[in-house]
């Protein structure tokens, strides 16, 4: 098989992965066979006469994962260019980071599979492929440049009815299922082409079982589930404030007026929870002095009309220290230090207040990646 054919197979896998990926509805099952063309290309390279097989494997897998990632999260460029309209080239360069970084980790996993496949039997190599790939996903979800959007298990979001067993395995169980299905589908294809005996269908039976059993369990669980009714009156508000007005043109008090009026328009006397969106209180607020904040006083005044009411709202909060207690703490200008948080605040009618700090932050936007090693870049992220 020549290089052109293997590259076409790589592109076919990328297309099938994109086709099965959310938000396209009802195409999710395609993910269970989408990597088969790539595996066909891989085995053609491995069994061919090419001298630089490792490089061809890396480039072929890299093409699949780069095209799939770029096609599935193309909207990142639109989001960045909307903020940076005067410099589309800079927006394109920044967009390459999420497009290529995850694809690179996936490609490394596939290349490590090739290296293992050279010295081990195919069953060990397949196990290695699954381990390498899921490890790469875990790394990409856990490190300072995290972007877990393209974790394979997330692909079942398009048909959640098939993922009812995620409560036991999480999304990595979905990644395992998709990888195992593709491996068995490839083995079924290869066996059917190479064998003439009745045993050539054995891998197809295994593949059929690995598809049908989880789907059957999931659908049975989904259709038989009965919600336990514990009625709670909840009001959720989305004010639809333009981001440019939110952080520039519109005062915090005006935004709170919109939120309280919308909440009052649909609330009932027995409403128990009011949910406001992320950074609904946009002005930086000292957590230790929250009760003297004008925004808090206004929110408390609104809440006093509902005797059972509790407000959960997004807020941009600050925490001040005498010393540099955290790696992310920045000089406050008065000899101390501070951290700023994208937080959730719960305010009860009794004036009891709790804060929850968002732990998974967007690299570059909400946090500086690798703050110790890249401390010299701190001014860029402030």
Q: What is the pLDDT along the chain (382 residues), one digit of tens a residue?
A: 788 899 999 999 999 999 999 988 789 999 999 999 999 999 999 988 877 899 999 999 999 999 999 999 888 878 777 666 677 777 777 778 888 999 999 999 999 999 999 999 999 999 999 999 999 999 998 887 888 889 999 999 989 999 999 999 999 999 999 999 999 999 999 888 876 666 778 888 999 999 999 999 999 999 998 888 888 899 999 998 877 677 777 888 899 999 999 999 999 989 999 999 988 888 888 989 988 899 999 989 999 899 889 999 999 898 998 888 887 788 887 778 888 888 999 999 887 899 999 877 776 556 666 666 666 555 544 5
Question: In this structure, what is the dihedral angle of CA atoms 82, 88, 94, 100, given to the nearest 10 degrees?
Answer: 110
What SS3 string covers 191-230?
HHHHCCCHHHHHHHHHHHHHHHHHHHHHHHHHHHCCCCCC
Please check whether residues 130 and 188 belong to one and the same domain: yes
Q: Is residue 130 part of a domain?
A: yes
The answer to the question of residue 282 being in a domain is yes
Q: Is there a single domain that holds both residue 201 and residue 251?
A: no
- According to the model, what pLDDT value does residue 376 have? 54
One domain for residues 153 and 256: no
Is 229 part of any domain?
no
> How many CA atoms lie within 13 Å of 324's alpha carbon, on the beta-carbon side?
6
Overall domain count for the chain? 2
Judge if 248 and 218 occupy the same domain. no
Q: Which residues contact 75 (CB under 8 A, 6 or more apart)?
A: none
pTM, two decimal places: 0.82
Residue 49 lies in a domain: yes
Q: What angle do CA 75, 78, 80 make, to 5 degrees?
A: 110
- Same domain for 12 and 160, yes or no, is yes
φ, ψ at 355 (rounded to 5°): -115, 145
Q: Verify that 187 and 63 share a domain, yes or no.
A: yes
* CB-CB neighbours of 319 under 10 Å: 18
Domain assignment present for 284? yes
Residues 366 and 319 in one domain: yes
Domain assignment of residue 144, yes or no = yes
Clarify whether residues 75 and 217 are in a common domain.
yes
Looking at residue 271, what DSSP letter applies? Answer: -
**Could you say which of 224, 255, 286 is where a domain stops?**
224
Note the pLDDT of residue 55: 93
Please tell me the predicted confidence (pLDDT) of residue 197.
66
Q: Is 186 in the same domain as 297?
A: no
What range does the domain containing 323 cover? 234-381
Residues 103 and 149: beta-carbon distance below 8 Å: no
Which pLDDT does position 108 carry in this prediction? 97
In a domain, 58, yes or no: yes
Mark whether 103 and 180 lie in a shared domain.
yes
Assess if residue 71 is contained within a domain: yes
86 plus 117 within the same structural domain? yes
> Which of 224, 250, 284 is the last residue in one of the domains?
224
Q: Which of 197, 224, 251 is the last residue of a domain?
A: 224
Tokens found for residue 309: 């009411």
Do 54 and 7 lie in one domain? The reply is yes
């Amino acid at each position: 098989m020549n290089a052109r054919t293997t590259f076409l197979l790589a592109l076919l896998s990328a297309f099938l992965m994109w086709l099965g990926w959310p938000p396209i509805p009802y195409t999710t099952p395609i993910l269970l066979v989408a990597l088969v063309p790539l595996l066909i290309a891989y085995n053609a390279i491995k069994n061919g006469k090419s001298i630089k097989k490792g490089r061809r494997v890396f480039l072929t897998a890299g093409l699949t994962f780069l095209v799939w990632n770029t096609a599935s999260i193309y909207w990142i460029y639109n989001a960045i260019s909307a903020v940076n309209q005067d410099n589309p080239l800079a927006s394109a360069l920044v967009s390459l980071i999420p497009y290529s970084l995850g694809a690179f980790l996936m490609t490394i996993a596939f290349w490590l599979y090739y290296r293992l496949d050279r010295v081990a039997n195919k069953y060990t190599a397949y196990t290695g492929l699954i381990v390498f790939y899921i490890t790469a996903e875990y790394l990409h979800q856990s490190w300072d440049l995290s972007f877990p959007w393209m974790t394979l298990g997330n692909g079942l979001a398009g048909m959640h009815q098939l993922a009812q067993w995620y409560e036991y395995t999480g999304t990595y169980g979905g990644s395992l299922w998709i990888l195992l299905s593709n491996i068995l589908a490839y083995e079924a294809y290869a066996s059917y082409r190479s064998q003439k005996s009745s045993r050539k269908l054995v891998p197809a039976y295994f593949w059929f079982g690995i598809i049908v059993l989880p789907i059957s369990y999931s659908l049975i669980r989904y259709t038989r589930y009965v919600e336990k009714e514990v009625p709670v009156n909840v009001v959720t508000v989305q004010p639809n404030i333009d981001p440019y007005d939110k952080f520039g043109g519109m005062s915090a008090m005006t935004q709170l007026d919109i939120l309280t009026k919308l909440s009052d328009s649909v609330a009932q006397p027995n409403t128990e929870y009011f949910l406001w969106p992320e950074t609904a209180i946009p002005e930086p607020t000292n957590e230790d002095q929250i009760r003297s904040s004008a925004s808090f006083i206004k929110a408390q005044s609104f809440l006093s009309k509902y005797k059972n009411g509790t407000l959960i709202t997004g807020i941009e909060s600050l925490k001040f220290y005498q010393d540099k207690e955290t790696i992310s703490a920045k000089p406050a200008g008065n000899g101390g230090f501070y951290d700023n948080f994208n937080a959730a605040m719960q305010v009860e009618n009794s004036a009891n207040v709790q804060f929850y700090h968002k732990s998974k932050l967007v690299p570059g936007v909400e946090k500086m990646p690798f703050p110790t090693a890249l401390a010299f870049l701190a001014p860029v992220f402030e």
